[in-house]
Amino acid sequence: MDKTATASPNAPKTLIGQRVKKPDAPDKAAGKTRYINDMVLPQMLTAKVLFARRPHARIVRIDTTAAAKLPGVHAVLTGADAAGLHFGFVRDNVPLKDKVRCEHDAIAAVAAETEEIAQQALALIEVEYEDLPGVFTPEDGAREDAPQIHDNFPGNRSLHFAFKHGDLAAAEAASDVIVDNVFRPHYVTHCCMGTSCAIADFDHKGKLTIWTQTQYPYNYKMDLAPALGMHPGDIRVIQPPVGGAFGSKLDVYPYEPIAALLAKKTGRPVKLTYTREEEFRASPTRQSAIIHMRTGCTRDGTLTFRSADVLLDNGAYTSWGPTIPVIMMRTTSGHYRVPVVDFKAQAIYTNNPYAGSFRGYGNVQTTWATAQQMDMLADQVDIEPLAFHLKNAQLSGETTPQKSFLRECALVECLQTAAAASDYSRKRKEYAALRDAPGRYKKGIGLASSIHNAGGAKIHKSDGIGTILKVDDYARVTVISGASEIGQGIDAVITLIVAEELGVPLEHITLVNNDSDIAPWDVGVHASRTTFIAGNGTRRAARKAKAQILAGAEKLLGEPAADLTLREGAVVRVQDGKEIIKLERLLRQMHFQAEPELVMVTDYYEPKSEPEGAAHSSDHSAAYAHAVHIAEITVDTLTGEIKVDKVTVAQDVGRVINRMGLEGQIEGGLAIGLGYALSEDMRIEQGHLRNACFRDYKLITAPEMPPVEMHLIESDCAEGPYGAKGISELPTIVIAPAIANALTNATGVRIFTPPMTPEKVARAIVEQRRQASAPQAAAQLEGATA
């Protein structure tokens, strides 16, 4: 695209790339927004869940008689009420359990007039358990004599994935250097500030309305239906404002069908809300993994192969967590030019909590490994890392072994920009030279990059979106879009695009996107897809409306439509900008005439991408993008504390749409990545979570957020709206290995299991010193005896 075109004096002002305020921000800042957690309906009952709080057990006896008799209690349900209501990817879950497979299994639920009564009722439920031996690591779960967790999944084997490309043995033989490590990405959780909440209500035709935090309303109906023994068509999903989601609401979790089952039983609306402690225990985690990765290169620094053998702790049930190999393999095969790839992954059931999807889905874990091995390889072949990265960086037009077509690839530009802006190569050399110098505080700099889908990911049969757009007699626009809003700012993007296309003020645009009975199909907010997919859908719908309006102007006013455009609430001539008619006046004339017409258009947009397929060899996204992070840190070698002094980000964003929203996504994504890297850690021991509170599970706070220098690289994606690519996951993906590489630069130690807590770093430094001094001590000892 000709970037100078906008410089012409007659060119209209474009909103693309401007800073647009989030339309819902004023009410949110005022405390006026009614979140789902704030909602109260007439006659509404409060539900509470009895969790097993033991990892593996048979329920010998459960007696709810006393609970049911408590005044104010309207229903008590147990596993017997949910028999046969199997749901989940492999139908291994039920809303209420008759056997305990993890500590947060719901074994009974109560609906009562108040929370206090519901709580009292839970205490009256008598349960007798027979504890069973548990499985707490995937290695243990895979053993032949391991206890069986699900009868119909022999050997505790859950999902498995594989992808091979090229001759691995030959590539290994051709390698001068091979790095071979085991990385153990850990458990973290989303920590949405608004805890999980659902409100369910049935009408007398048997239709369920569920108010929920879901970020995928349409497939949600399909996934919720079997948990209730219902037809998906009889479910209406309403999405009130939510306190964050980050991937945690991309599946059905038991509390949602439990609320619905209680509503069905009582005939009243039922609300179920988690406490923070319940949220920590019972909401999904990020998938942990054991990644045995090998990467090879020749002495001149050319990558020869990458292999990954991945073992996943499936936890007790199968949600999105164990499906992450779909993206793990894309990174394994596509992070730099890797000619030969061998990827395999197996998920094993355990009695641990189970993972869902979480921003950066699979790529956070894989980039933790690939980006560290790139750093190690550069050192082993003694090539300056930037040069090593550049040598292996893909260029526009290349295709990865899995057939990801990198039509517009800005990896080289990202690398060069970030490295130049941070003076990376010089600092890295300088800090490495000072590593063994005296002094408690050491500086380090680390570079990491990654690749991610940036135009959706066709893992479902469709990756499309429906859009309905109407313009009323007053030139007020309503966009009815399938795109969900979870705080990320698609509301700002959609209104910006409509304003851009139709020349109406931002305040004159209303977005309706939270009711499955009104808005058309969308896959959901995931895979960094929404600006790309909904942006395209909105633009297409707006352009159809514009064409109809300009045709109306031609018909009524005799000016050729091709000479006209819409600007500042009016129809204007393109050539001289002269106003022909106010838009709202034209719309009324079109409406109230002999051949009346309303401006109402629909659009269905399906991106040009290929279904993932069982062979995992397809161009599954309509675009791909890269980001480079350079972290500058100071390490206190005594305490092991890492202070991140600065992060330089260079990211291929295709084209900036809403600059303010984009910056916010990068900063926010980075904060989640920083927590992953430095402090967040679910301590799960024998199936029990030991730190289910913010005091012991440390999120990044305001003082820990480093300055971020941002370079937005505009590669101008041919398929993206105005050239934009999806952007929101890469910031979370890249930062942890950048810090890990900086830690090695500063101290020489390398951490394979995040987070890089002071304790872990200090331990590694002590161990390194012990090993370094051991040969010396041995030599001294030898000298003494000789």
Partner 1 sequence: MMSVETEIRFMLNGREVALTVPVTMKTLAMLRERLDLTGTKYACGEGECGACTIEVDGRTVNSCLMYAVDCDGRQVTTIEGLRTPQALHPLQQAFVDHGAVQCGYCTPGMIMQARHLIENRPGLTREDVQRGLEGNLCRCTGYTKVLDAVQDVAAQRAAGCAGAGAD
CB of 695 to partner 1, least distance (A): 5
**Cα 628–Cα 629–Cα 633 angle in degrees, nearest 5:** 160
Judged by CB, which is closer to partner 1: 65, or 701? 701
Q: Is 187 in the site for partner 1 (CB under 8 A)?
A: no
**What's the closest the beta carbon of residue 748 comes to partner 1, in angstroms?**
30
Contact yes or no for 267/202 (Cβ under 8 A): yes
45, 113 contact by CB (below 8 A): yes
- Identified binder of partner 1 from the candidate list 487, 535, 537, 552, rule CB under 8 A: 487
What is the edge-to-edge ordering of all strands in the sheet holding 157-165? 157-165, 341-349, 303-315, 290-297, 177-183
- Those residues whose C-beta lies under 8 Å from the C-beta of residue 515, and which sit 6 or more positions away, are 236, 237, 238, 239
Min CB(64)–partner 1 separation in Å? 19
DSSP H helices, 174-254, are 217-228
Does 194 sit near partner 1 (CB under 8 A)? Answer: yes
Q: Give the DSSP H or E segment for 763.
A: helix 758-785
User: DSSP secondary-structure letter at 285?
Assistant: B
Distance of alpha carbon 404 from the chain centroid:
20
Which of residues 552 and 755 has its CB atom nearest to partner 1 in the complex? 755
Among 141, 669, 726, 755, binds partner 1 (CB under 8 A): 669
Question: Reduced to 3 states, what is the DSSP secondary structure of residue 488?
Answer: coil
Closest CB 214 distance from partner 1, rounded Å: 14
- Could you give the CA distance from residue 185 to residue 31 in angstroms, rounded to a whole number? 38
Provide the sign of the torsion angle of the four alpha carbons 28, 31, 34, 38, taken in this order: positive
Look at residue 632 and give its three-state secondary structure: strand
Instruction: List the x/- string, 23-42, binding to partner 1 by CB under 8 A.
Output: -xxx-xxxxxxxx-xx----
Position among 157, 164, 276, 403 found at the interface with partner 1 (CB under 8 A): 276
Q: Pick the closer one to partner 1 by CB: 564 or 650.
A: 650
The least CB distance from residue 419 to partner 1, in Å, is 23
Amino acid at 178: I
Q: At what angle do helices 530-557 and 490-502 cross, to 10 degrees?
A: 20
What is the full DSSP assignment across 95-149?
SS-SEE-STT-EEEEEEESSHHHHHHHHHH-EEEEEE-----SHHHHHSTTPPPS
Q: How far is CA 87 from CA 57, 96, 109, 256, 317, in A?
A: 21, 11, 18, 12, 10
Residue 200 beta carbon to partner 1: minimum distance, rounded to whole angstroms: 20
Which of 70/551 has CB closer to partner 1?
Answer: 70
Q: Are 488 and 662 in contact (CB under 8 A)?
A: no
Among 198, 311, 369, 486, binds partner 1 (CB under 8 A): 486
Binding mask 400-439 for partner 1 (x = CB under 8 A): ----------------------------------------
- Bridge partners (DSSP) of residue 445 are 632
Q: Which of residues 682-701 bind partner 1 (CB under 8 A)?
A: 693-695, 699-701
Nearest approach, Cβ of 541 to partner 1 (angstroms)?
Answer: 25
Span near partner 1 by CB under 8 A; candidates 149-157, 326-334, 662-670, 715-723: 662-670
Q: Which is nearer to partner 1, 667 or 716 (CB)?
A: 667
| Residue 93, H or E segment | none
State which of positions 120-179 bind partner 1 (CB under 8 A): 120
| Least Å from the CB of residue 467 to partner 1 | 23
Q: Which is nearer to partner 1, 21 or 763 (CB)?
A: 21
The C-alpha atoms of residue 197 and residue 191 are separated, in whole angstroms, by 14
Closest CB to partner 1 among residues 245, 542? 245
Candidates 234, 667, 709, 716: give the one binding partner 1 (CB under 8 A): 667
Report the C-alpha dihedral over residues 127, 133, 136, 138, rounded to 10 degrees.
-130
Judged by beta carbon, residue 99 or residue 659, the one nearer partner 1 is 659
Site membership for partner 1, residue 489 (CB under 8 A): yes
Nearer to partner 1, 246 or 354 (CB): 246
Other beta carbons within 10 angstroms of residue 426's beta carbon come to 11
Please identify, using beta-carbon distances, which residue of 32 and 61 lies nearer to partner 1.
32
Contacts with partner 1: how many residues (CB under 8 A)? Answer: 56
Q: Which two tokens stand for residue 474?
A: 């007053």
By CB under 8 A, the residues from 195 to 224 that bind partner 1 are: 195
- Smallest gap from residue 477 Cβ to partner 1 (A): 21
Token pair recorded at residue 226: 């079997």
R_g of the chain, CA atoms, integer Å: 28
Alpha-carbon span 654 to 624, nearest angstrom = 10
Point out which residues bind partner 1 (CB under 8 A): 19, 21-22, 24-26, 28-35, 37-38, 120, 190-195, 241-246, 275-276, 486-489, 660-661, 663-664, 666-672, 693-695, 699-703, 705, 708
